[in-house]
Amino acid sequence: MNRSPGLADALRLTRPRQWPILSAQLVVGVALALPPGAAVTTALARLSPWPLLGGWLAWVVLLNGGTLAFNSAWDRDAGAVAYLRQPPQPPRWLAGAALAWMTAGVAVGAWLVGPAFAAVTAACLLLSVAYSHPRPRWKGKPGLDLAVNMAGYGAGTTAAGLLAGRAALPGHVPGGVLPAALLCLGFALLFGSFYPLTQIYQIEADRARGDRTLSTRLGPRGALALALGLGFAALVALEAALAAGARSRLLWLPALAMFLWLAHLLRWRARAAAMDAAAHEQGMYWALWLWAGIDAALIVAWLA
């Protein structure tokens, strides 16, 4: 006899396998909130833990976990989705619970980090609803789906990390506005470059469901061409942020990491016609490793 979906299924649909990846990206924002050239061990020892823990709980677990569960509540995926190969059937109450989960993230962020962090979290909550709810369903509108993810995962996660890091510094030391804006823009563009990669291996499933995603509209080669263009723009923005904020002598290091990213996309695009869904999915996971290299290179260049 089939059992009814319950709490364990709901928790799986928050996709905890994604949390370490988003946690790492949040840490990048925290590291880039440190003064350029700071002695890392000394700077970390001076950070207050509560804004960092609160920021992680609010952004990664509550907002992000709730966002993914809210999306699954409406999509009711039967096949593999990102970070979950065999999604369970969502409970009927999941959409409401996920909305409450995200709202709790706003409250936790306001309490432990600050009003600016809470405002960023609230804005991304609204984007999550617009993205997944059947009425606006921005997920199914090519271009809007990309814009939401660039603003939320790309710029939002970077801004959340910067705000949590600055709140954790002694005296809540403010940082430069221009470098922070360029960092948020750079990561928005980098996530824009990554986002089509998460859809390519799901093109057939999306078409069968009637979803008109960016990648179903463009096809694999077109989606990869867009990823290449946004990736190059990300390279320019991130290098400009380093030049404005850190005046680093290691500008070449993030540039090298970004060129490896672009080389991966070029090779993928050249082979796209002969690749099946599993190969496209593997290409996405390789891109995640290359993103980690970009993050590490940025932190080294900023703090060197």
pLDDT tens digits, one per residue of 159-215: 999 999 999 988 766 667 899 999 999 999 999 999 999 889 888 877 777 777 788
pLDDT-based confidence at residue 125 (cuts at 50, 70, 90): very high
CA distance 37 to 211: 47
pLDDT-based confidence at residue 87 (cuts at 50, 70, 90): confident
How close are the terminal C-alpha atoms of the chain, in Å?
61
Mean of all residue pLDDT scores within the chain: 90
CATH number 3.30.70.1050 given to 176-304 = no
Top-confidence residue, 81 or 223: 223
Q: Give the pTM.
A: 0.90
| 8 Å CB contact between 82 and 198 | yes
With a cut of 80, say whether residue 72 has pLDDT above it.
yes
Proportion of the chain above pLDDT 70, given as a percent: 93
With a cut of 70, say whether residue 229 has pLDDT above it.
yes
Domain ranges of the chain: 7-175, 176-304
Radius of gyration of the chain (CA): 19
Q: How far is CA 99 from the centre of its chain?
A: 19
Burial degree of 209 (CB within 10 A; 0-12, 13-18, 19+): middle
